[in-house]
Structure 1
């Protein structure tokens, strides 16, 4: 698109059925591999590059088989990763944790783009997670600063964002990493870590400071071990 041109409606990186299939295949509760956390069912959401929600799915057998509140969290994670990533630099939501802490260079970031409440709480709950979820076609907004959101790249550039929620934030990151790969939208050109790009970085010291400035705390399970196996994490070890 030429510089300064109007932003036409962006295409959705994935349809509902592909997202649903990829999510179910990568959540243990729905038959997928372990992700190191509670191993609960999950929500996933995708926004197009223009920030419009275009696909939402859940992995469980019913809409309340995963945390109901995680539908909006997943959508806001997708919005965050898309909104704060560029063609030549990907940021996962996990990369934002350290910077937003008091005294950090991003302190207050999570309050800068409030969620669209009119969209968030509208529509028939019977349609949640379906191909015609009430959020589809709307901008959700919101900024989430813990694991589970990744930008999506198709090899030609950035095409949107993916958010996953319903487990620990560390496990959400692992699921999102797997789902992004399953969708073929993991052609990430660069990120904050030269080797693992927008991976979750476990480098907080006992005082809570991040050596890299992009760190995320360990969660209570085996998420860091799984992330290491996937190439989705840097540093850390399972808490003892």
Structure 2
């Protein structure tokens, strides 16, 4: 069978280009040909708590976070933090919303609700995502605005969580230094208490912490105490009268609107008398701002 001369020339030219490209590709180092999805072109993981990256610098490493968490949580003592007296999960993210540390107060996975690990991560992502260098919002502060007919209604539908990241890996590693969430951005939006932005001693917003494992009001209490002990509570401004991001209990029945209302616009439901009393005294017992 005969081919037109132009077709033969075109095939010959295309063959030379293909051969040249393959030769160039084979000559490249293997690392240049294969770039993992979770690494930048420098080869450093995006969040890299365990890498040489400084993206988690100034945030508590696993050992420090675990020690402080276990000092604050007093399991089976309902008076210490209000609520049920449960063990807790704690997750810290950096300013990019990437997980730096995951910890738990119990020795074993089943000592705390396994389902609260993902909630803690989403709380940290939310508090970081909706706080600014000059203004902090806790996840408790966004409860009322996210309710029907309010300004942030359905906020929880934004920034959906990545379930493949939450559930992957060996469950035995959850909450340990080898937790598979570390270095990943799991996302999620939670609109009840337990997530707080983290401000270093210089007042810089460096990330957030999420606590989960008890009633949400108790999650807030433990998160507040933990942040205070880590000296990452140098909050510049917030929605409370004290100018911070504490939980506000001012939801009440308002006959003028024929339903419930929040005086401040940032209210949160009460959970237990103990947790309410503890949080309301934080301005005296655990004040925000630089330590003297």
So what's the TM-score if we normalise by structure 2?
0.74
8 A contact 1:77–1:163 mirrored in 2: yes
Higher Rg: 2
Q: Which structure 2 residues correspond to residues 93-104 of structure 1 after superposition, within 5 A? A: 93-104=139-150
Give, in angstroms, the shift of residue 29 of structure 1: 0.9
Match of 1:11 among 27, 35, 56: 56
Match of 2:235 among 166, 169, 188: 188
Q: Which structure 2 residues correspond to residues 78-93 of structure 1 after superposition, within 5 A? A: 78-93=124-139
CA deviation vs aligned residue, 1:31-84 (integer Å, no higher than 9, x gap)? 897111111111000001111001011111211111110000001000000010
Higher helix share: 2
Which stretch shows the higher mean deviation, 81-90 or 205-214? Answer: 205-214
Give secondary structure in 2 for the equivalent of 1:161. Answer: strand
Give secondary structure in 1 for the equivalent of 2:164. Answer: helix
Q: Which structure 2 residues correspond to residues 18-167 of structure 1 after superposition, within 5 A? A: 18-29=64-75, 34-156=80-202, 157-167=204-214
Give, in angstroms, the shift of residue 155 of structure 1: 2.8
In structure 2, runs of 5+ residues without a counterpart are 1-45, 48-54, 254-258, 286-292
User: Alpha carbon RMSD of aligned pairs, Å?
Assistant: 1.9
In structure 1, runs of 5+ residues without a counterpart are 1-7, 234-240
Which stretch shows the higher mean deviation, 224-233 or 70-79? Answer: 224-233
8 A contact 2:199–2:235 mirrored in 1: yes
Which residue does the alignment assign to 1:212?
264
